[in-house]
Amino acid sequence: MYTVKSGDTLYGIARKFTLSVDELKKLNNLTNNNLSIGQKLIVSKPSQATETTYVVMKGDTLYGIANKFGVTVDELKNLNNLKSNTLSIGQILKIPTTNQNEVTYTVKSGDTLYGIARTYNTTVDKIKQLNNLKTNNLQIGQILILPS
């Protein structure tokens, strides 16, 4: 996740993160080249790497995040060089992937649980259960685990 600063351009941000402008626009559902100071942009392509990232949201705990992704608190702390259990909203954590077949999805502007469920041939209830969601509300940048 990258926060747009004064003077930033799509070209400059894309170059900084070794993306094309088109890739950056697609990742963020951008329809034009306009940026706003403070705007958050996704700057990494989905990968088949052995780790993923998670953006800390209000109410998150290390235990809850570890439980959601099937890892231990110690694994999270070690991978992210954390000395305490304190988290900050918006903090980006690296998550070790335990299942190479696991499918994750990063929420983009305009996404709905229904739309994501249709795209991935599953149900809203299955996505909510797998991610311990109590409501249908999504946040841009939120990482969802999808049934494989």
CATH of 51-146, one of 3.40.50.300, 3.10.350.10, 1.10.3720.10, 3.30.420.40: 3.10.350.10
Is 4:43 a contact under the CB 8 Å cutoff? no
The Cα–Cα gap between 76 and 46 comes to 20
Same fold for the pair 2-41 and 51-146:
yes
The pTM for the full model equals: 0.39
The Cα–Cα gap between 130 and 146 comes to 7
Q: Which of 8-22, 39-53, 64-78, 122-136 has the lowest mean pLDDT?
A: 39-53
> What does the pLDDT read at residue 102?
59
**What is the CATH architecture of 2-41?**
Roll (3.10)
Average pLDDT, the chain: 84
More confident residue, 79 or 112: 112
The Cα–Cα gap between 3 and 90 comes to 11
> Could you read off the pLDDT of 45-103 as tens digits, one per residue?
654 445 678 888 889 999 988 887 778 898 889 888 899 999 998 898 888 765 545 57
Q: Minimal CA–CA distance to 94: which of 77, 78, 105, 80? A: 80
Is 74:57 a contact under the CB 8 Å cutoff? no
Domain ranges of the chain: 2-41, 51-146
